[in-house]
């Protein structure tokens, strides 16, 4: 079980990332609903799990990250800023501009801290399995972290990749699924039912871990429990989350798949997130 001080530190990182997202959302349109649902897991991946050298983003010994849920680029950028990849003020200046490194989807042509350009849903996991297979063939100890949205799990390419990862025993692959039960079209179970979702991954031969995707202790314990990269099963961590988590008027509201917040809503949202953190951890 993770130490309380560690859990609180990463939870504080997650809060600050969420507040950064709201600041950006007050400035311009972003995919705020899905950013907030995955923020806790993303904070843990980047500020706890990843083995990474910010001064050398192409270091061969680094862990790799693939954002299959490509529209969650803003939360990825702020998570990377947390470990020093860039000054977060640059994100505000450059986001969705013609000259910028930051946009609604991650682009490795513009940003050296992006391993794979993503955006077309269902494509990130297949690329991640290829990277994991190559690293395994080299005898590398690096791990590949991939964040997948549950909406894209209706794509056949996701399940072809899942078969491939099992066949080639890619234990160096850790997939985090943002299981917020929603996509742009509404609730996933209404237009492409996936339950029993964990059983599908088990049937494909994966090690399956289910967590509350907003409980930082559970997230860290799941990371700490990942099998050795030279074992024989890939792992999927299914984070049960809420779209727009922590903001009352955004939660489970498909209208906030993407948007820009007004001055009043911006203040309200930040106050709600900060108050929730302080109720759990205190004001420090």
What value does the CA radius of gyration of the chain take, rounded to a whole number of Å? 18
Average pLDDT over residues 217-239: 98
Of the listed ranges 66-70, 165-169, 216-220, 254-258, the one predicted with least confidence: 254-258
Residues linked to residue 67 through DSSP beta bridges, in sequence order: 147
Confidence of residue 70 (pLDDT cuts 50, 70, 90): very high
Supply the pLDDT for residue 141.
97
pLDDT of residue 208: 98
Domains of the chain plus CATH, in order, are: 4-281 (3.40.50.970)
| pLDDT tens digits for range 83-122 | 999 999 999 999 988 778 998 899 999 999 999 999 889 9
Residue 33's pLDDT band, with cuts at 50, 70 and 90, is very high
Does residue 244 register a pLDDT over 90? yes
Report the alpha-carbon distance of residue 165 to residue 171 in Å, rounded: 8
| Residue 284, pLDDT score | 64
* Angle made by CA atoms 105, 255, 29, in degrees to the nearest 5: 40
Q: Which two tokens stand for residue 82?
A: 């947390």
The answer to whether 143 touches 63, Cβ cutoff 8 Å, is yes
Please, where are the H alpha helices in 112-259?
A: 124-138, 156-167, 188-191, 197-203, 216-224
Report strand pairing: 173-179 vs 235-240. Answer: parallel
In the predicted structure, residue 77 carries a pLDDT above the cut 90: yes
Give the helix/strand (H/E) hosting 76: helix 73-82
Cβ–Cβ < 8 Å for 6, 185:
no
Sequence-distant (≥ 6) Cβ neighbours of residue 131 within 8 angstroms: 64, 66, 115, 116, 144
Mean pLDDT within 136-152: 97
Computed over every residue of the chain, the mean pLDDT equals 95
Average pLDDT of the residues in 155-162? 96
Q: What is the mean pLDDT of residues 255-283?
A: 95
Q: Are 160 and 170 in contact (CB under 8 A)?
A: no
In the predicted structure, residue 226 carries a pLDDT above the cut 70? yes
Q: Tell me, what DSSP letter sits at residue 48?
A: I
**pLDDT above 70: percentage of residues in the chain:** 100
Q: Are residues 149 and 188 in contact, defined by beta-carbon separation less than 8 angstroms? A: no
Closest by alpha carbon to 240, among 31, 3, 9, 37?
37
* Nearest-angstrom CA–CA distance, 239 and 152: 15
């Amino acid at each position: 079980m993770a130490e309380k001080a560690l859990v609180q530190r990463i939870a504080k990182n997650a809060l600050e990332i969420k507040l950064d997202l709201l600041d950006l959302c007050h400035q311009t349109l972003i995919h705020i609903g899905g950013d907030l649902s995955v923020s806790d897991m993303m904070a843990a991946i980047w500020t706890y799990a990843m083995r990474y050298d910010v001064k050398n983003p192409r270091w061969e010994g680094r862990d790799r990250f693939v954002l299959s849920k490509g529209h969650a680029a803003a939360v990825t950028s702020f998570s990377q800023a947390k470990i020093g990849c860039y000054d977060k003020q640059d994100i505000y200046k450059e986001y969705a501009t013609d000259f910028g490194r930051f946009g609604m989807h991650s682009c490795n042509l513009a940003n050296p801290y992006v391993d794979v350009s993503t955006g077309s849903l269902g494509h990130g996991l297949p690329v991640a399995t290829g990277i994991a297979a190559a690293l395994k063939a080299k005898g590398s100890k690096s791990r590949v972290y991939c964040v997948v949205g549950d909406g894209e799990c209706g794509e056949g390419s996701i399940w072809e990749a899942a078969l491939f990862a099992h066949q080639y025993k890619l234990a160096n692959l850790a997939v985090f699924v943002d299981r917020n039960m929603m996509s742009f079209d509404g609730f996933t179970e209404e237009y492409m039912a996936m339950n029993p979702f964990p059983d599908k991954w088990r049937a494909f031969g994966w090690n399956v871990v289910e967590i509350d995707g907003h409980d930082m202790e559970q997230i860290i314990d799941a990371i700490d429990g990942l099998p050795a990269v030279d074992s024989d099963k890939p792992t999927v961590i299914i984070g049960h989350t809420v779209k727009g988590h922590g903001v009352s008027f955004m939660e489970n509201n498909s209208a906030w798949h993407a948007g820009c917040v007004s001055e009043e809503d911006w203040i309200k949202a930040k106050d709600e997130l900060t108050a929730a953190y302080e109720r759990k951890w205190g004001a420090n």
